[in-house]
Structure 1
Amino acid sequence: MTRPGAPLTSLFGRAIEQVSSAPEVDDGVFDAALAVLAERGTRAATMDDVAARSGISRATLFRRFGGKDALFEAALARALRGFLTEIGTTFLTVTDPVERIEAAFVACLRFRRRFVAGKSDPAHGAALVAMLSAGEPSPLELGRRFVAARIEAGQSEGVLPPADADIQADAIIRLTLSYLVLPSPVYDLDDVEVARAVARRAIAPLVTGIPN
């Protein structure tokens, strides 16, 4: 019988704690683990599934990680580290505020696809909301603070008009979350250019005040 795994929310919370220390190893295993996690969920996924997908024996996986929860935590930590690095690089190298929003939105969609398979599974959407809302502060709150700080920086630099940065950041986070949880049946957000257009026309005006 398959042992039920820890809820995705718990795995994600523990993965956050590993982000700064998780080594860059076992990329193939981690890719396989995330694919299995996305397809089967924490309850149904097994080490046998990951072994079959990765080509690494079940015994080796247990020897390296001890169990499936530890393996999934390490895989999520690696995915989180890559996501945070990408966002950080974007805000260091891209100066145009609209282009920053486009790039960040695309990164969020790409991150979602790493561990949520399909486009309309209500269970996956609920798991995503629970995962991003868990903790104190939660990933959503950390995201809101980050966005608010960047808006305030843009206002101080004169590239964004004066406004309430906290309200703007909260609206951006919630709008982005809605696209992550309920992918649009009208627009193919797997298409990068379409995703960038949505961000440019629907999200960016919240802070620039300029329709695109």
Structure 2
Amino acid sequence: MASPSSKSPIGDGDLPEGDPTVDRILDAALELFAEVSVRKTTLEDIAKRAGVDRVTVYRRLGSKNDVVQHVMARESRRIFERIALTASSVEDPAERVARGFAQIVVSLRDHPLYHRMIRTEPEATLPRVTREAGDLLAMAVTFAAEHLVPEQPGPRDLDAQITRIEIVVRVIHSLVMTQLAVVDLSSEKKLAAFARDYIAPIVNIPSR
């Protein structure tokens, strides 16, 4: 299925791909965020770990908040790319959606950095993963449209299909943020079963 937009909404999509300096800075930031915490990490710390000066970090990536957003976007993109490889081997469309849905929820929910940020720095983290998470959600919509939702035969209403995909992405976001409620979706197996029954029908409903 085609991407919902011609320009990728990925948060680090405006960064030069394969730039070793940018990669080194992001790697350094990821390490420090995990070791020290986002709040206690400074641009100077990131620059020192990456072997560059503070001005280079600022010119390449922007402020500390920008660096955090770029790190989160890159980690999310890596998760999506890994799941895309797995999904490509699943022929049944509904099963592809179900497995992809479950794997995304578990991978994001159990990611060491995200887990630590939400647990230890909720005041700073929650805005980034809620009201400021538009780019990350848009990236997920694009990923699902390209890798999880199969092409449908016959004429399609692309806007309606993207809307259905966004509904699913928002469900994923909710499950990542709040694991426990009434329905037990604590394991990947249970998430996949839930997705087969309730998520796959949403994205595979033909347009009328």
TM-score by length of 1: 0.57
Deviations 1:162-186 (A, max 9, x none): xx52342232122222212222245
Conserved in 2, the CA contact under 8 Å of 1:34 and 1:75? no
Conserved in 1, the CA contact under 8 Å of 2:24 and 2:50? no
Task: Give the deviation of 1:62 after TM superposition.
Answer: 5.7
Residue 20 of structure 1: aligned partner:
17
Residue 171 of structure 1: aligned partner:
167
Letter in 1 for 2:192: R
Letter in 2 for 1:128: V
Residue 199 of structure 1: aligned partner:
195
Shift of the 65–131 alpha-carbon distance from structure 1 to 2, 3 Å rule, reads farther
Conserved in 2, the CA contact under 8 Å of 1:33 and 1:71? no
Percent identity among equivalent residues? 18
Conserved in 2, the CA contact under 8 Å of 1:34 and 1:76? no
Residue 176 of structure 2: aligned partner:
180
Task: Give the deviation of 1:13 after TM superposition.
Answer: 7.3
Task: Give the deviation of 1:151 after TM superposition.
Answer: 3.8
Task: Give the deviation of 1:114 after TM superposition.
Answer: 4.3
Report the structure, 1 or 2, having the larger helix content.
1
- Structure with more contact order per residue of length (Cα contacts < 8 Å, sep ≥ 6): 2
Letter in 2 for 1:183: Q
CA–CA separation in structure 1 for the residues paired with 2:124 and 2:47: 31
Q: Pairwise CA RMSD of aligned residues?
A: 4.2
Helix, strand or coil for the counterpart of 2:131?
A: helix
CA–CA separation in structure 1 for the residues paired with 2:49 and 2:42: 7
Unaligned 5+ runs, structure 1: 1-11, 52-57, 158-163
Unaligned 5+ runs, structure 2: 1-8, 58-62, 155-159
Helix, strand or coil for the counterpart of 1:17?
A: coil
Q: Aligned runs of 1:79-94 on 2, under 5 Å?
A: 79-94=75-90
Task: Give the deviation of 1:61 after TM superposition.
Answer: 0.9
Task: Give the deviation of 1:65 after TM superposition.
Answer: 6.4
CA–CA separation in structure 1 for the residues paired with 2:112 and 2:150: 31
Helix, strand or coil for the counterpart of 1:93?
A: coil
* Number of residue pairs aligned between Structure 1 and Structure 2: 175
Q: Would you identify which runs of 4 or more consecutive aligned residues in structure 1 move more than 6 Å?
A: none
Conserved in 2, the CA contact under 8 Å of 1:19 and 1:77? no
